[in-house]
Structure 1
């Protein structure tokens, strides 16, 4: 498996957990595994420009259990921007219904699997790079 394929698999897996959680189809126990994938210092720049801490993101996701029974998330155009031993910066598109986000993620690869260190999301439309 190439590095890009590994990163794509992680990004898709991560968003499948979110999709299942939003739809109320995930077990409550799965939230612990989702939370563990985020490094203690994880930060996120939300599409609206807010800088969120790990605690902020986890609280938002946890409170959204089952709020979108028809939730569907599609990941497109995963591109590795740079890779070093143990660290990857990648870009991808995330689509929920008709709303797209262009995201840049910093991932750490270690013995316990991938850890999400930082995520930056920006709104995009259907004329985005992967369209």
Structure 2
């Protein structure tokens, strides 16, 4: 991996972990008042799209609205960990990053395989913005 691409992967990795820290803080009622929602909006690029684990395709507006309306909906037990993060295809300004997102919500575990496309952006929190996200269930939330 060239130095430029290593830097791009480093930025994208920091963004994946940083955004998921934001989610935990935003969703946990005890911490939601300490979080700036603009951090999330600045990270979502124009034209962002997502394939949710259930197969539903969402545009940027739907994802932003969903996250905004989910503020403070979890208790202190909510947690997200990022596992097995690695680079996929990349060029000078674009990278695909693969990772597993593990969640604990309401005492129930779930895991999803994710692939995310990032492009460079000087205005985004870690120098990259999310362009596309695809999630697939590895472990559906326990009932």
TM-score range, shorter chain: 0.7 to 0.9
**Aligned twin of 1:74:** 81
TM superposition shift of 1:121: 0.3
Q: Which has the larger radius of gyration?
A: 2
Taking the aligned partners of 1:13 and 1:84, their CA distance within structure 2 comes to 23
Answering whether residue 18 of structure 2 is matched by residue 13 of structure 1, we say: yes
How many equivalent residue pairs?
A: 126
TM superposition shift of 1:105: 0.1
Taking the aligned partners of 2:81 and 2:33, their CA distance within structure 1 comes to 21
Q: Aligned-residue CA RMSD in angstroms? A: 1.9
- Normalising by the residue count of structure 1, what TM-score does the alignment of the two structures yield? 0.88
5+ long unaligned stretches in structure 1: 127-131
Taking the aligned partners of 2:133 and 2:74, their CA distance within structure 1 comes to 22
Q: Which residue, 37, 48, 67 being the options, matches 2:43?
A: 37
Equivalent position SS for 1:61: helix
Q: Which residue, 33, 55, 58 being the options, matches 2:61?
A: 55
**Aligned twin of 1:105:** 116
Taking the aligned partners of 1:62 and 1:28, their CA distance within structure 2 comes to 14
5+ long unaligned stretches in structure 2: none
Taking the aligned partners of 2:83 and 2:135, their CA distance within structure 1 comes to 14
